[in-house]
Structure formats: structure tokens, C-alpha cells
Amino acid sequence: MLRPHAKINLGLRVLGIRSDSYHEIRTRFQTVDLRDEMDIRLTPRELDLRVEGAHLAGDRSNLVVKAAEALREARGGLPGARIRLVKAIPLAAGLGGGSSDAAATLLGLERLWGLDLDPGELRRIAARLGADVPFFLQGGTALGEGRGDEIRPLPDLAPCGICLILAPFESSTADVYRRWDLLPPVSRPGVEAPEAALPDPSRGESRQTVRNDLQDVVFAAHPELRHYWELLYDAGAEAASVSGSGPSLFGLFPSREAARAFRDSRDWEPYRVVECARVGREEYLARVGLGPGPDRGTS
């Protein structure tokens, strides 16, 4: 059983538009223990995907199928696979659910098919599938540069409580970046030089360290989100932000007990509040099903 995890962005700076029309960004990724489940079994030739828990097609429009086909293009004569995906990470929420599923597919099939790919080749295949996919090959806390696909491991985030506020609507990453592009340069947040010192996540986070340049764009499109962001700080969160291009919000609390107290403080409908914890790199690889530990293995 594979367990693809969600991520949050501990800050996201938009540095500009690249020559390939993508955006140059600088962000810190962090895996959290909200996760999907995936079961993969060999078949003689066909690729078959069944999705439960979300209205997602199981055809070539799905990143899971695209990931499997990308591996078969890289290595000829491979068998097929029957994949069952149970979704818990919400769609188009800024939590990387589709990218995480794609990375888990690459890791699971790479081992199930006995490919023994060079890590660099696997990263290149992942980057072609999506900017966040390379991060989910390793998880934990990491710096993402370029399109977000150039990954460098960072020290683990300090222990804390995390609450995710999940909105009852989706957000289009492409639309959020288009809105950012339309901002007059004077209205865009100032960006530090790329070589500026990174916050040390092992020392905890603050309002400054989780600054997301896309947040005001997301709030302009969905003003009600600002209210929930303020509630996180009012309840004692040490840091709170939109994750990625939203609409999900996260708050980092001094303890899991404080995060649970926020979760249980009211009826959040139609929103949903999930209390969770950060997942470090070694724990992530074990829990996703590819490292040492009780969860190791692919069905």
C-alpha cells in the first residue's frame, strides 16, 4: 500500500516570469500527514486506474496514468498495472494531491517493475509531469526553486501542531498566476535576492517566514478566506498562510493540543478543519511505502 501525502508551502516567493512562460519561484515545501492511499498490482499489459473518494477520471487526463505511461515510454516492453486510488487530499486545493499521487506512482511502479532507474532520470520524468512532482520523490522539508522542481533538502521543521482549513471550492493555479501577472509591478511584493539566507525551519516559523506572494491574489478572488486566516492568528497560531495557490490555509501552532483546540472550537461547515502533523523525510519515505519500517511494501 502506497500513501501519497499532502504538502504545505512554508512561504512562496514569485521571482518573475521565465523564458519558457512558467514562473520562477522560491518556496519551502513540507509534507503533512493528510494522505491518499494507493494500491498497485501487476497486469499482463493494460493500465487501469480506479479512483474512489473523488470525481476524477481514470483515463489519460489523470496524472497517475500519465506517470505510469511516462515510465513505460522510458523503458520498453513493460507489463501493465491495475491501480486503485482512494482520495483524501482535496482537489485543486494547493496541497499537491495530484502531484503526490503521480510521484507515488513513479516510485511504486519503478520498484514493482524492477526498473532500477538512475535517480536523475526519475527526477527528470517527474519534472515533466508537474513542477511539484519531484518534491514528492523525497518529501520532508525542502527548498523548491526554478519552477519549484529544483529540490534541495532542508532541516526538518520543528515539532508543532498544524491545522489545515479546507475550503468548499477549488482554485486554479493557472488562474492565480494569471492574476499575479496582471498586478502592476509596484503592487507586487518585493522579493529578496535568491541567495538570501533561508529561515531555519528547525527553529520554528513566523508570519514573516511563511509569506506567500500569491496570498493577496487568492484573498482578492475569495475575500472570505482572509477571515479564516485571521482566525488562525487570533487562536494563537505562530504562522499562518495560504498553501501554494490556495484555497487551503494552514496554521502552525505551538503544540498539537493547541491545534486540536482550534479544530474543535466551532462548527466549521461548509469549510473543514483538519488537525495534522509535519512528516519528516525519513518518516515520509517509510509511510509512503518505500522506506524502512512497518509500512514498507507495495501490494
Which residue(s) pair with 239 in the sheet? Answer: 252
Specify the domain boundaries for CATH 3.30.70.890 within the chain.
Answer: 161-276
Average pLDDT for the chain: 90
Residues 68-87 have pLDDT tens digits of: 999 998 888 899 999 999 99
- Report the topology of domain 5-154: Ribosomal Protein S5; domain 2 (3.30.230)
Res 200: pLDDT? 72
Is 66 one of the annotated active-site residues of the chain? no
Cell of 276: 495534522
Q: Residue 196's pLDDT is what?
A: 47
Q: Quick check: 186 pLDDT over 80? A: no
- pLDDT over 90 for what percent of the chain? 79
* Domain 161-276, CATH homologous superfamily name and number: GHMP kinase, C-terminal domain (3.30.70.890)
Q: Taking Cα atoms as reference points, which of 57, 58, 40 lies closest to residue 49?
A: 58
Q: How far apart are CA 49 and CA 175, in angstroms?
A: 28
Predicted confidence band at 289 (pLDDT cuts at 50, 70, 90)?
Answer: low
Cα-based distances in Å from 261 to 206, 237, 247, 254, 272: 20, 11, 22, 12, 14
Numbered ranges of CATH 3.30.230.10 in the chain: 5-154
Helix, strand, coil shares of the chain, percent, nearest 5, are 30, 25, 45
User: Which residue is associated with the grid cell 482554485?
Assistant: 171
d(CA 91, CA 185): 31
Catalytic residue among 7, 36, 101, 213: 7
Residue 193 banded pLDDT, cuts 50, 70, 90:
very low
Closest C-alpha to 154, from 31, 36, 54: 31
Q: Which of 36, 132, 149, 213 is catalytic?
A: 132
For the entire predicted model, the pTM comes to 0.92
Average pLDDT in the 188-200 region?
57
